[in-house]
Amino acid sequence: MPRNDLKKHIAGTRIKSVDRRAKFLIIGMVNGAELVIHLGMTGRLGIFPQNFPKAKHDHCRIQLDNGKQLIFNDIRRFGSIQVMPPGSSFCNSMQINLGPEPLGREFTPQYLQKLAVGKNRPLKNFLMDNRVVVGIGNIYASEILFQAGLKPERKICRLTKKHWVEVVKSCHYVLEKAIKSGGTTISDFVNESGKNGYFQLELQAYGKQGEPCSCCAAPIKKITMAGRSTFFCPKCQK
Ligand SMILES: [Zn+2]
């Protein structure tokens, strides 16, 4: 944790903006510095009253001038906090390596098809690559491909425009539904309002191996791709 950088660049200044890029929260300060937070798998960030009791795994507590405090708590320590000094923007430093947002305007069937030319990669790995598109993790990748009716192992160079239209449509459908229902619950995850996300209840493929597909009743299959559990319907997904 960058204690000295926090003191030097963040203490005493004012928050100007709160933004997100990929899985990073970016809190911009009026002096140009940025506080960049990644929640990892179990990180929680929240605003709490002044006298809120200290908890185990509180890695950072920042006193705000309205008497409240911003607390970052992370049980498993996969999360991170970094300070970008004034003049060095986190987005600029990451831009070259990060693809567009899945709900943004640049994420189109044409964009994906162009990128896939001559590439033999499996579709699921392609969608989970941050250089292609940001923010699609393992759970959502399985759900999106179930929705699109495409096998996770499909080679991307063989997909047609029609397939890519389906992929983009399914990304929008699954992610918008997930956002509306508050995110996905895994173990102890809670969203910023402290409530459990409910998307888990509506998963169609992820974690459902052996259970009947909601469309055709064939048992959902589980395989491992790039070291990650992958779920699909062997009948509906082609
Ligand atoms: Zn099916």
Instruction: Output the pLDDT for position 45.
Output: 87
User: Tens digits of per-residue pLDDT, 147-157?
Assistant: 999 999 999 99
Instruction: Output the pLDDT for position 187.
Output: 43
203 CA distance to ligand 1 centroid (A)? Answer: 14
Average pLDDT rounded to a whole number, residues 41-45: 82
Average pLDDT rounded to a whole number, residues 195-207: 70
208 CA distance to ligand 1 centroid (A)? Answer: 12
Banded model confidence at residue 201, pLDDT cuts 50, 70, 90 = low
Cα distance between residue 189 and residue 177, in whole Å: 18
Which has more confidence, 130 or 237?
237
Residue 175 has pLDDT above 50, yes or no: yes
146 CA distance to ligand 1 centroid (A)? Answer: 8
Residue 68 has pLDDT above 50, yes or no: yes
72 CA distance to ligand 1 centroid (A)? Answer: 41
Q: How far apart are the first and last CA of the chain?
A: 47
Angle between the 161-180 and 109-116 helix axes, to the nearest 10 degrees? Answer: 120
* Amino acid code (one letter) for 227: G
Instruction: Output the pLDDT for position 200.
Output: 54
Output the six-digit token pair for 92: 């600029």
Instruction: Output the pLDDT for position 196.
Output: 53
234 CA distance to ligand 1 centroid (A)? Answer: 7
**List of residues 6+ apart from 154 with CB closer than 8 A:** 122, 123, 163
| DSSP state, residue 141 | H
User: Tens digits of per-residue pLDDT, 114-148?
Assistant: 999 999 999 999 999 999 999 899 999 999 999 99
217 CA distance to ligand 1 centroid (A)? Answer: 6
